[in-house]
Structure 1
């Protein structure tokens, strides 16, 4: 990405730095029809898909229209099978360790329940946990007598590794559930180091990677988690209603599903059944095949683009957007110190975050307002009612970023004059 022209930089009262050229942004924009419709900074909510992803979805729906859903699914069976391999290639695992879901929330619920946390056992959760998963955890605490503990944080709101080790060292059966990157800030948890502690003390380690797969370089072997769950619609740029999980092969045999389905189980006589030896034991028969084909295309595109290159470009762009926003009078960056991701959160003095988001939308700049109700253990704990979140992707160019900065600066100036 080239630097923004001096005139644009002057209008924003901030300098847009140079970003490296490891990603061909112009090509990504040509592949992404929505890139010309608005200045889209909501990859952390639902990123813009490429035309190829959309075409795969629409083509399959047309096939279902012609021959029926089951017949169409049989016709594309090999393509659906390829999705598992593409996901495995991205995460550094085997295809039989991949399960597909309709959402990350479903995957997290199904897989956490498979651990069967018993009364008196413990779940340690990061403060970066998303609302849907937190609600499930609190329900287990209330209804099953699970001891739910929030992992202590350090001065920068990351999991405090020393304090976590002190908790784990008591030897209690523990499920450790960590959000790699939260919905409420650009924080990146030290997931590799947490994995070392989980292995050392025998804790089950479940990683919510909804904001990191397709965004950061993920290697499940290096991280050391037994389970990883992510969605398709965010940084992977797949359709809504798609998600996937990694379940470590050695762990799969120890986790029978709490609600076996014909997709991953076989009813063998009146009162017994067998379940698949792969992660597919957690899947259900009914699924949106069109969406899964779109997910497959998005995974292939991510692999071809290169996740190391993508991660480098995204984090550099996020850092530079963060610093440019920081230079605007009346704007406060809400990300904890040292946040190193493409998710940027901020506040505009005197203006509610929802109003900032709406005012930017009037300028065709797409960001979101994230309320504390989506992250009480983080935003609520910091006494922040809501934040504005901007999350770029590889289709954002310097003109997009200039419009974002100009819009925020204009909103801040208008509020300062009131």
Structure 2
């Protein structure tokens, strides 16, 4: 079997800074399959799962409200850890059950209306895109898909020219899409949005826990991410950030007892923090697991993790590109740990099935999950492999050899 040659430490940057053996030791699933689906739902650590199960046992013994009271201090630390990870303040953080929920709540609170404009990146995820289309249709706002440059990133010059007319605008960008390893120029988009007074919402679903994300450096007014992907938290978790200056102007369209107090027959007062966007009911156990995932991400260091994952992404992308019959589908100079590809003459879902038979876990992303991106590129689907800190060289070898076997099976068939 042709092994992927390990790059020297100087080329990989943080290669020696991530203790992959230690990450694998605290990740039960790392020893059960070659898992390349961090961009879908990563393998959680033992610490994450212990936090979840221990709290569920507490609920079993004492009841949900009583267990929540016992865990209040640790629950509060989830806000602090999320804020620390992205350079925000704890009162600017809201917890959600998913990134899609967070994006929907924040966009609805912005209340785009007739004559206003929403500019969305071509890499917008299906759920967010359909919500934006619904908002535009029902409230007579204009929805514009941002022009792209030769690398299929947001065309910065075109965006600058578009916003120059001064119309009230929401700019919403997917930092890294579900459909490729592309990384949008988030900071430069932020500069343009600030210059023209646009409100900037960043979908950081695939970037928090993957790249270094600093809300002040990026200049976004709001950010939303999920827990289950590169943060390695449980499903059903996520968080949002709303900058203080925006928070003061936003009210939720459906106030909840969690974020507001009913003070008179026809009046209520909102929580002064971003928790005004939350709902009372939540999975406390899952949130505690998210807190552990956040603290582990901080322990690894976002900068170290970014260097490591980008290097592994380059390594995998290069190895797959060398396989005859394989075409890398990532546009431009993709620089993330997400790698997309197609195998000539083999449907993507078939590639996924044949790799699964070899205990290699990847997914197929259809154009229905990204019509403004995959549809625009006439790609019906792509195979997506996403690396995390628990993937070792044996994993990468298994994936590449599996793809070679898929190609060989196509030829022999």
Deviation at 1:145, TM superposition (A): 1.0
Tell me how far 1:284 sits from its aligned partner.
0.6
Quote the residue 1:230 is aligned against. 225
Match of 2:2 in 1: 8
Q: RMSD of the alignment, in Å? A: 0.9
Is the CA contact (8 Å cut-off) linking 1:16 and 1:321 kept in structure 2? no
Aligned twin of 2:195:
200
Query: Please, which of 266, 269, 293 is the counterpart of residue 271 of structure 1?
Result: 266
What do the CA deviations read for 1:288-308 (whole angstroms, capped 9, x no partner)?
000000000000000011110
2:83 match:
88
Alignment equivalent of 1:349, drawn from 344, 351, 368: 344
Q: Distance in 2 between matches of 1:308 and 1:45?
A: 22
Distance 1:395 1:371 in 2: 26
Q: CA deviation at 1:120?
A: 1.6
Aligned to 1:34: 29
CA distance in 2, matches of 1:267, 1:141: 31
1:302-325: CA deviations, max 9, x gaps? Answer: 001111000110011001100000
Instruction: Supply the distance in 2 between the matched residues of 1:382 and 1:238 (Cα, whole angstroms).
Output: 33
Q: Deviations over 1:45-99 (max 9, x none)?
A: 0000000100000000000000000010011000000000000110001100100
Matched, 1:172 2:167: yes
- Superposition pairs of residues 59-98 of structure 1, within 5 angstroms: 59-98=54-93
Matched with 2:20 is 25
The residue that corresponds to 1:327 in the other structure is 322
Counterpart in 1 of 2:106?
111
Shift of 1:106: 0.3
User: Separation in 1 of the partners of 2:393 and 2:214?
Assistant: 31
Q: 1:42–1:367: 8 Å Cα contact kept in structure 2?
A: yes
Shift of 1:141: 1.8
Dislocated runs of 4+, deviation >3 Å: 14-19
CA distance in structure 1 between the aligned counterparts of 2:189 and 2:316, rounded to whole angstroms = 29
**Distance in structure 1 (CA, Å) of the matches to 2:29 and 2:208:** 22
CA distance in 1, matches of 2:175, 2:71: 34
Instruction: Provide Cα deviations, 1:379-407, integer angstroms capped at 9, x if missing partner.
Output: 00000000000001000000000000000
Task: Give 2:392's aligned residue.
Answer: 397
Matched, 1:250 2:245: yes
Say whether the 8 Å CA contact 1:15–1:324 is kept in structure 2. Answer: no
CA distance in 2, matches of 1:349, 1:26: 35
Which residue of structure 2 aligns with residue 296 of structure 1?
A: 291
Q: Does 1:218 align with 2:213?
A: yes
Superposition TM-score, scaled by structure 1 size: 0.97
Deviation, structure 1 residue 250: 1.2
SS at match of 2:2: helix
Give the Å deviation of 1:337: 1.7
- The TM-score, its normalising length taken from structure 2, stands at 0.98
Residue in structure 1 matched with residue 38 of structure 2 by the alignment: 43
Unpaired runs of 5+ in structure 1? 1-6
Match of 1:339 in 2: 334
- The runs of 5 or more residues in structure 2 that have no matched partner are none
